[in-house]
Amino acid sequence: MFTWIPDITTGDILTTVSILAAAVGLFLNYLELQRSSRRHRAELTIRFYEMLNDGDVLDMWEHVIYESGPADYDKLTRRQKSALDGLLTYYNTIAVLVNDGLVKDRDIQPIIYDLGVIAKSKAVEACLNMQPPAYDALATWIARRKPETQGEPHR
């Protein structure tokens, strides 16, 4: 017959403490990664809206969102075309990050709404059609999201 003799050695105690310390460390690492992810999402959104502090880009953003002024790309002034190019370059950079899987759509939800609104602009569409290699990632991202981009501009 077998009898169980409950002997706990120092090695057993150290192994148990080590496993518990590793588990606590993994949990704390997970919490830090979550906090870091939230912080990076917020920084990306804040940087986008800080970029709009440039007067020309802000005017172009409002022009595109509210369709005020010429809707045809050819009727835009040189300054407006430059501002539109700056705006689309920023969106294209975000699209590259999303297409490469470095940023998820849920991470940049406020920016996605604005992208959906500007994607319906005739000036933006013309600009994307004129320079497909420059804004390839943006055009792909817009095409992928096309059914979701039917909202009205916020005022």
pLDDT digits (tens, 9 = 90+) for 72-112: 677 777 887 787 888 888 888 888 888 887 777 777 777 77
What would the pLDDT profile of 4-59 be if each residue is shown by its tens digit?
777 888 888 999 999 999 999 999 999 999 899 888 877 877 777 777 676 777 77
Show the CA angle centred on residue 80, arms to residues 140 and 138, nearest 5°: 10
Predicted structure pTM score: 0.61
pLDDT of residue 148: 52
In a domain, 14, yes or no: no
First to last CA, the chain: 83
More confident residue, 98 or 71: 98
Number of structural domains (the chain) is 1
**Residue that the structure tokens 């920084």 belong to:** 43
Residue 70, C-beta contacts closer than 8 angstroms, at least 6 positions apart:
76, 123
- Whether residue 115 contacts residue 126, with contact meaning beta carbons closer than 8 Å, is answered with no
In a domain, 73, yes or no: yes
Choose the weakest-confidence range: 18-27, 97-106, 116-125, 145-154: 145-154
**Domain range holding 119?**
38-148
In a domain, 15, yes or no: no
